[in-house]
Structure 1
């Protein structure tokens, strides 16, 4: 990204300096950045909006030659599910996700033993073997397969994987700088469960920590908040959504508003651990909108992510129009 000519704020400078000095750039970042750039250019030429969906949890190693690590567990369900609805809404999607977390379309059959859902048949004397699918084991598989094939044909979904916190942070930065030229047509949907603590590479033991040394005591540092440089430096014109998960429903909206005040982005999706599958609050600077699944919708297996994406797509359209009017004044 080109230098704007203005000094970075202390918060942004602190975060970017920590990232540069304490998180080594992983080997796959350069090739991933190239793929993302080609993807964005392809869809930009078609005038299509592009959303970066982050999904899954990050891993923090405790040793340089990693045997032990701390993990932020997340199945990646919300991110994978939301990516499908963004695709259905006309977006191209960069899906930045944890390796082996849930994936769009495939996530519908998580836990299914594929071999149990397939049968082979052949006619006597024929060398041709026919594979048949048990549609009870894979419900709606024909519709899901058609949707996936259409997305693949139009190159609408780009998968980028991470494992560690360092990989996630550098890939997020690369994605943001790639999307920045799209201006207001770029969206960030930051649903990944990012670690809050880490051990700097300079303070990490090289080899496996030995249990024979006795009880383990670890001192960890706070992970710098990358929302500030994303909003203020990497992609300052983009439409940015973060998530706030709490266990106490009485504080979740206040915490969401505090995040908006701190980072100056557009939306926080606030949710409570026990009810997150059926209720969220979309919080902006001007409003808060509760999205709830009705009993009828639950019976019909409607997903809350469908409502979230519908709301945010409309908000993004309004944001794009507002930015257009501002640039013309």
Structure 2
């Protein structure tokens, strides 16, 4: 899981108004060039169990889907605002090994009076093309990265970015791949200090996190093309829950996937259709990722959506 490069573009963390102005100015420049814009959310949210937090609720999301999708959206010509969990997978940095010995082994010291560090091309075969794509995206301003960690921070930044992108109408895609917690403890109900284990087994009551899809679709960016993601472990409820989400929130598509097969197969659910996408054994062997097919299909759906608006 690769962290974002420090030199990449940033928005001020946790400051919704600053982020809103930054995203609006960035998107306006791309809209003037006739480019579509995508907001990609990625990674998981963290929920505090104490006001002066030591303990948190997390989920397993690494941000791999969001990061891979952002790469492919940029390649398809979209300018991408990448709203991602700090230290989760980052576009093009995914070619680096995870932190630890594998990462250190991928580099070597060059001998001489002034030693330097060089990458081992054999250990990092994908690094050179990833670096080329990353720098190309940076030079063209095609990627604007915005970090979050806490649940509340994510919600604030999503609202700010949505409001910033609303003026650009149907040319905007919301690709909501982040794994957002469904449960939290309201700030007013958090214990002030660290919960003591000496007090015995812990019992906590969690409240439901307000769903952001409804205000996003109805108020913040009502003309945009909005995609949500649905992950389940029970195949008997996957499609039904996806269709109910479409009926409830009135957005355009749900990417439905099962936990065990999420890397190789999804079903794109819309009001009119149900389209399975999967990787063949040959495609898997060639290193293809399912996000390539997801983005390609949704790009086509976005085009149809824009055409219907005119």
Of the structure 1 ranges 237-246 and 128-137, higher mean CA displacement relative to structure 2 is found in 128-137
1:121 to 110, 117, 120: 110
Who is 1:47 aligned against? Answer: 34
Quote how far apart the aligned CAs of 1:278 are: 0.8
Q: What's the TM-score, normalizing by structure 1?
A: 0.86
Of the structure 1 ranges 33-42 and 101-110, higher mean CA displacement relative to structure 2 is found in 33-42
Computing the radius of gyration over CA atoms, which structure comes out larger, 1 or 2?
Answer: 1
Q: Does 1:249 align with 2:203?
A: no
Quote how far apart the aligned CAs of 1:129 are: 4.6
Answer yes or no: is the 8 Å Cα contact 2:20–2:163 preserved in 1. Answer: no
Instruction: Give the total of aligned pairs.
Output: 296
Answer yes or no: is the 8 Å Cα contact 2:217–2:226 preserved in 1. Answer: yes
Unaligned runs of 5+ residues in structure 2 are: 1-12
1:159 to 145, 166, 171: 145
1:78 to 62, 65, 69: 65
CA deviation vs aligned residue, 1:42-95 (integer Å, no higher than 9, x gap): 212212111010011111101111111111221111001100000100000011
Change beyond 3 A, Cα 1:302–1:27: closer
Of the structure 1 ranges 291-300 and 210-219, higher mean CA displacement relative to structure 2 is found in 210-219
Report SS of the residue matched to 1:250.
helix
Distance 2:51 2:25 in 1: 33
Distance 2:126 2:67 in 1: 17
Who is 1:28 aligned against? Answer: 15
Distance 2:219 2:175 in 1: 17
Answer yes or no: is the 8 Å Cα contact 2:226–2:253 preserved in 1. Answer: yes
- RMSD of aligned residue pairs (Cα, Å): 1.5
Report SS of the residue matched to 1:229.
helix
Change beyond 3 A, Cα 1:251–1:27: closer
Who is 1:109 aligned against? Answer: 96
Who is 1:310 aligned against? Answer: 296
Q: What's the TM-score, normalizing by structure 2?
A: 0.91
Quote how far apart the aligned CAs of 1:27 are: 4.5
Of the structure 1 ranges 94-103 and 111-120, higher mean CA displacement relative to structure 2 is found in 111-120
Unaligned runs of 5+ residues in structure 1 are: 1-25, 325-329
Distance 1:61 1:266 in 2: 32
Who is 2:167 aligned against? Answer: 181
Distance 2:258 2:132 in 1: 34
